[in-house]
Amino acid sequence: MTAVGDDKQRIMTWAGARADAFARFAGDFAAIRIPLLFNFRSSPDLVRIQHVVARALDPNAAATVAQARRQVDGDVAQVWNSPTKAREAEHLARWLGNDMATRGRPPRDYAVLVKQKSDDFEADLAGAFAQQGLRLRNESHALGRTTLQDLLTDTFAKIAIALLRLGATRRAANAWQLASAALLEIRAIVTDDDLGQARTEEQLIRFVAALRTDMANTAPSAAAATIFADRVFAFLDLVAITRTYVEYSTGDLLAIMVDAFRLHLAASVNEAATWADALDAFEGTGQIPLMTVHKSKGLEYDTIVFVGLDDQAWWAHRPGNPEGLATFFVALSRAKQRAIFAFCRERGQRQRVAELFQLLTDAGVPEIAI
């Protein structure tokens, strides 16, 4: 039995996660602790800053060794101090646009992180981003009973979007591979059943051919999106999906994802000239993700910008609070090359979060007036 994790990233105790999970595991299984000291994500300067925060969580935290190379000039971390939300949004959008152009980085290499209320920050930032030709994608946005991020990582949704992608374009090798493999699994075709495999592939070919013809002759619209989604659902067979994938075998997760898929696809056709454009919008191609720190856990980006480092967003934080410090550590450790922390005086003060700013100061992170 092996358990892997990081006490410094324990940010779910409010939802019932155990604070003593590793200690209990060690006791139950007589486990040997093996510290993992190599950091393959962040550059050496970021790792050094992360260690300052790590020691605030655990004074005995072992220093990790960066295995990634630094790829940027200048500061790898900064605090931005803005007088108004409008100034902050304009500066951030302009800075991101310039950095992408200078370094040749795509939008998905960047992420905007917030503590909570991502919809409010989306409203504050989206206009300024649009003026710079950038699109902000709120991945914590609610879709029925789930979120956009959870929908896009869902097994069923990945299969369904692959089929729609095959209907929208003739060159989608990855989509074909995903859809054909999933269909064999859903139809319960075993590896040595050559006849069953041939029959299933023929079904897929016929379905995609008909779907491609109809999508080519139908302009993108919310009504058409619902029709095509329902055709995909029927072809896949939702009952068979519940038998195939254990996550859908109990409860109503599949129904939740089906509803969310319809909602998001209908929204994605807005301003889409083609179905391929609509599917790009569905999957977030060319968009900068915005999400809460909790939703970012396990992900990584070249550059993260944490917006809302103030008392209003961190209203429950108390000095020395382990979960608050861990949340801050998780945000910082998503970055591979750079981390920006944005404070806006219009949003609130910084008394409750003074220790977080002090940690950045102790790590040598400069504060820049915007």
What would the pLDDT profile of 284-333 be if each residue is shown by its tens digit? 999 999 999 988 988 999 999 999 999 999 988 888 888 889 899 999 99
Q: Residue 341 is which amino acid?
A: F
Average pLDDT of the chain is 93
* DSSP assignments along 138-204, one per residue: ETT-EETTEEHHHHHT-HHHHHHHHHHHHHH-S--HHHHHHHHHHHHHHTT--TT-HHHHHHHHHHH
- Based on the domain organization, do 157 and 278 belong to the same domain? yes
**Which whole number is the average pLDDT over 362-370?**
94
**Which whole number is the average pLDDT over 172-184?**
94
Q: How far apart are CA 225 and CA 175, in angstroms?
A: 18
Q: Residue 142 is which amino acid?
A: A
Nearest to 252 by CA among 265, 242, 263: 242
Query: Is 356 a domain residue?
Result: yes
- pLDDT digit string (tens) for 51-61? 999 999 888 88
- Based on the domain organization, do 243 and 333 belong to the same domain? no
Provide, rounded to the nearest whole percent, the portion of the chain with pLDDT above 90: 77
- Based on the domain organization, do 188 and 278 belong to the same domain? yes
- Based on the domain organization, do 317 and 355 belong to the same domain? yes
SS3 63: coil
- At residue 140 the predicted structure's pLDDT band, cuts being 50, 70 and 90, is confident
Residue 110: predicted pLDDT:
97
- At residue 7 the predicted structure's pLDDT band, cuts being 50, 70 and 90, is confident
Q: Which residue has the higher pLDDT, 5 or 28?
A: 28
The residue from 261, 283, 305 where one domain ends is: 283
Query: Half-sphere exposure of 217 toward its Cβ, with a 13 Å CA cutoff?
Result: 6
- Predicted TM-score (pTM) of this structure: 0.85
Query: Is 59 a domain residue?
Result: no
- Based on the domain organization, do 222 and 297 belong to the same domain? no
Residue 6: predicted pLDDT:
84
- Based on the domain organization, do 214 and 261 belong to the same domain? yes
Q: 286 with 107: CB under 8 angstroms?
A: yes
- pLDDT digit string (tens) for 68-123? 999 999 999 999 999 999 999 999 999 999 999 999 999 999 999 999 899 999 99
- Based on the domain organization, do 186 and 102 belong to the same domain? no
**Which whole number is the average pLDDT over 138-148?**
91
- Based on the domain organization, do 264 and 300 belong to the same domain? no
Domain that holds residue 107: 77-143+286-369
- At residue 170 the predicted structure's pLDDT band, cuts being 50, 70 and 90, is confident
The residue from 238, 258, 283 where one domain ends is: 283
Residue 157: predicted pLDDT:
96
- Based on the domain organization, do 341 and 246 belong to the same domain? no
Query: Is 2 a domain residue?
Result: no
Positive or negative: CA dihedral 299, 304, 308, 314: positive
Residue 21: predicted pLDDT:
87
Query: Is 28 a domain residue?
Result: no
- Based on the domain organization, do 316 and 263 belong to the same domain? no
- Based on the domain organization, do 178 and 267 belong to the same domain? yes
Q: Considering its fold, how many domains does the chain have in total?
A: 2
Residue 102: predicted pLDDT:
95
Would you say residue 216 has pLDDT above 80?
A: yes
Query: Is 310 a domain residue?
Result: yes
Nearest to 297 by CA among 340, 332, 337, 324: 332
Could you tell me the CATH number of the domain that includes residue 97? Answer: 3.40.50.300
CA–CA distance from 170 to each of 2, 173, 208, 216, 310 (Å)? Answer: 44, 9, 10, 11, 49
- At residue 48 the predicted structure's pLDDT band, cuts being 50, 70 and 90, is very high
CB atoms under 10 Å from CB of 174, counted, come to 9
Q: 57 with 346: CB under 8 angstroms?
A: no
- Based on the domain organization, do 210 and 260 belong to the same domain? yes
Would you say residue 14 has pLDDT above 80?
A: no
CA–CA distance from 232 to each of 156, 281, 351 (Å)? Answer: 11, 19, 53
Positive or negative: CA dihedral 54, 68, 106, 281: negative
Would you say residue 132 has pLDDT above 80?
A: yes
Query: Is 200 a domain residue?
Result: yes
Query: Is 72 a domain residue?
Result: no
Query: Is 47 a domain residue?
Result: no
Q: Residue 261 is which amino acid?
A: F
Residue 11: predicted pLDDT:
77
**Which whole number is the average pLDDT over 333-352?**
94
The residue from 283, 314, 338 where one domain ends is: 283
Residue 1: predicted pLDDT:
85
